[in-house]
Amino acid sequence: MTVFVIRRLMQAFLVVFLMSVIVFFGVNIVGDPVYMLVSPDADQADIEAAIRRLGLDRPIWEQYFLFLKGAAQGNLGDSFVFGEPALKLILHHMPATLELAFSALFLAIVIGIPLGLFSGLYPDNPVSKGIMAGSILGFSLPTFWVGLMLILLFAVELGWLPSTGRGDTASVFGIQTSLATWDGIRHIFLPALNLSLLKISLAIRLTRAGVREAMSQDYVKYARAKGISTGRIIFVHVMKNIMIPVVTVMGLEFGSLIGFSVVTETIFAWPGMGKLLIDAILQLDRPVVVAYLMIMVLFFVLINLVVDILYSILDPRVRLQDQGA
Amino acid sequence: MTAVLEVSGLKTHFFTHAGVVKAVDGVDFTVSKGEVMGLVGESGSGKSITGFSILGLIDQPGRIVEGAIRFNGEDIANAPEAKLKAIRGNKISMIFQDPMMTLNPVLRIDTQMMEAILAHEAVPKKEAWERSRDALGLVGIPSPEERLRAYPHQLSGGMRQRVSIAIAFLNKPDLIIADEPTTALDVTIQAQIIYEAQKLTRQTGTAMIWITHDLAVVAGLADRISVMYAGRIVEQGQTDDVIDRPLHPYTVGLLGSVPTANNRGERLFQIEGMTPNMLALPEGCAFAPRCGSASAACKVPPPVEHIADRELRCYHPQAQVAAQ
């Protein structure tokens, strides 16, 4: 297991390095940030000074090595716009995004898996057919449109829930979170639901397919022949088998939850990393964009690693192969 | 001897879109205490469905449409689910064909053994664990305590089938239905498994229905043999009688196609034709189209005839074979 983790970390290091090349050069090819930053009436000397101040007068490969040197020391460059370290800006906005993503994941699991279980056990039930039809909508309706509709219905028409911002936050273990206050929970509900809709549908479909496949397996018939209760067959024999693909996919999708939160955060004015990224792109604030993308790469790599470890805990057959490796 | 199981007039039909499949169509047999009955037939003859019918494990679109299954004197055909659940794995247990598929891959052996005990008895976990360990020892598994902690994929096929047999005997059932338990195993392991099963039935006095397509397997194991064809039992009798003096042309054909030392080098006998389509069974005797002795009389289903202690459904008993 240790060997496995070390090997995976080394692969991760390579992935992060390659991504830094692609991201850094990709972002530096697009647009010229200087004209966004200097005042419209600046003369040539002011512009020259700004270029030198931002380090844009050096050749791009030199800029890249300076970036790498900084990155190795935990410095991903300063924001052109705010003049603060980009990493600090992102870390400052990260708790808001993470709590949104975790809330969405939580909703996807507590709503998606039970619905999928029901529709897998009773595929011919009209309720199951309704669930399946709903999951198709969840897959195909665009996130931004659903977000707007949610605001229209719950915030504008019914006035039940607020539509923008994080609401009151409270500090838990030194992290400011909306989940610690009732007002914060009221604020997070709509964006979290919006963000999780796709994942709820995914959880429903995965669970349903898994249940239907598992119920026809010999081990279920054998468990019945042993006189095991239906509840134990479903929640121990079947669930333990179908949790393997569900955990894998939902875990991997956690990265895309953070990614998709760009759209949701923009619609609900949620002050997270996604909104920071959109603002940074609009202002060509290169260091922030690069730092955001690097952090996302790290996220995906770490999530993959965690999923692999979880997978080996759930599936005894994988565990054995690890010992051999 | 007292009858543990009496099946009479059992009909299990499947109502599919293409029509009604009469998988089991009027089956009668009796299994006495401590007796091993071999239920022999080709694939699709309804022998497994007969086994599942006894346990009430027939899934939609199939159901038991007629007949009685008297277990210890009580009819359990179409009994309520709660009653059947109390019998399954407790009074009647089952061994399945493929040990690779029947044990749950993500649960440890001890979990799967102990749950079989705990489903029927409120005993402390420790006791359930000890009984499981002893049961593994009984079926010849070395270092059972270690094996209990293993997952199914860590055991060989023969080892897994031993685990299934141990589970079947856990609650000291009155009857075990073994559905082709050795088909998925190679021949040497097959012999060991048969030996273990035979030993345990003798020790515990458990009756057993051994379902197989292989007459050679039951010849040395069963007390009595029932030969099934297209949902009906065509011949039934003491093992020695059926093997030495088969009366039904189908049994004769089956026996002829078993390789023996006597006909080495010769071509094996082959029964003409194919197993019938269960959706469109021929009128009368289902075997008639493949039978060398068939006559016009065979258009009417042959009734059960009793000859000494044997039962037969045929107008043309193969007396000449008996004379050989």
Q: Which CATH number fits the domain that encloses residue A121?
A: 1.10.3720.10
- Does residue A323 have a pLDDT over 70? no
Span A140-191, pLDDT tens digits? 998 889 888 988 888 888 878 887 777 777 777 766 777 777 777 888 888 9
Q: What ipTM was estimated for this complex?
A: 0.87
A236 at interface of B, judged by CB pairs closer than 8 A: yes
Q: Is residue A125 part of a domain?
A: yes
How many beta carbons lie within 10 A of that of residue B76, not counting itself?
20
Q: Is residue A148 part of a domain?
A: yes
- Does residue A230 have a pLDDT over 80? yes
Which of B104, B172, B177 to probe by mutation at the A interface, max A CB count within 10 Å? B104
How many cross-chain Cβ pairs, A to B, lie less than 8 Å apart? 74
CB B314 within 8 A of CB B285: yes
**Contact list, B57 vs chain A (CB under 8 Å):** 221, 224-225
Q: Is residue A82 part of a domain?
A: no
A117 pLDDT tier (thresholds 50, 70, 90): very high
Number of domains present in the structure of chain A: 1
d(CA B65, CA B48): 17
Q: Is residue A20 part of a domain?
A: no
B238 pLDDT tier (thresholds 50, 70, 90): very high
Burial of A160 (0-12, 13-18, 19+ CB in 10 A): exposed
Q: Is residue A292 part of a domain?
A: yes
The mean pLDDT of chain A is: 84
B150 at interface of A, judged by CB pairs closer than 8 A: no
Residue A126 belongs to domain spanning: 90-324
Q: What is the pLDDT of residue A115?
A: 94
Higher pLDDT, B259 or A193: A193
Angle formed by the axes of helices A239-267 and A86-107, nearest 10°:
130
Span A122-142, pLDDT tens digits? 988 999 999 999 999 988 998
The mean pLDDT of chain B is: 87
Q: Under an 8 A CB cutoff, do B57 and A225 touch?
A: yes
pTM of the model: 0.78
B121 at interface of A, judged by CB pairs closer than 8 A: no
Question: What is the three-class DSSP state of A285?
Answer: coil
What are chain B's domains? 3-35+42-79+212-260+269-323 (3.40.50.300)
Q: Under an 8 A CB cutoff, do A218 and B154 touch?
A: no
Q: What is the pLDDT of residue A325?
A: 37
Helix (H) or strand (E) holding A163, with range, is none
Q: For the sheet with B3-16, list strands across it.
A: B19-32, B3-16, B62-71, B74-75
- Does residue A265 have a pLDDT over 80? yes
Q: Is residue A178 part of a domain?
A: yes
Span B101-124, pLDDT tens digits? 899 998 999 999 999 999 998 999
To 5 degrees, how large is the angle CA B115–CA A237–CA A308? 125
**Contact list, A241 vs chain B (CB under 8 Å):** 104-106
B15: number of CA atoms within 13 Å, CB side? 5
Q: What is the pLDDT of residue A105?
A: 92
Q: What is the pLDDT of residue B321?
A: 46
B154 at interface of A, judged by CB pairs closer than 8 A: yes
Q: What is the pLDDT of residue A319?
A: 61
CB A264 within 8 A of CB A194: yes
Distances (CA, A) of B57 to A287, B67, B78, B81, B117: 66, 16, 10, 10, 20
Q: Is residue A251 part of a domain?
A: yes
- Which residues lie across from B21 on neighbouring strands? B14
Residue A152 φ then ψ, to 5°: -60, -45
Q: Is residue A71 part of a domain?
A: no
Q: CA of A62 to nearest chain B CA: how many angstroms apart?
A: 54
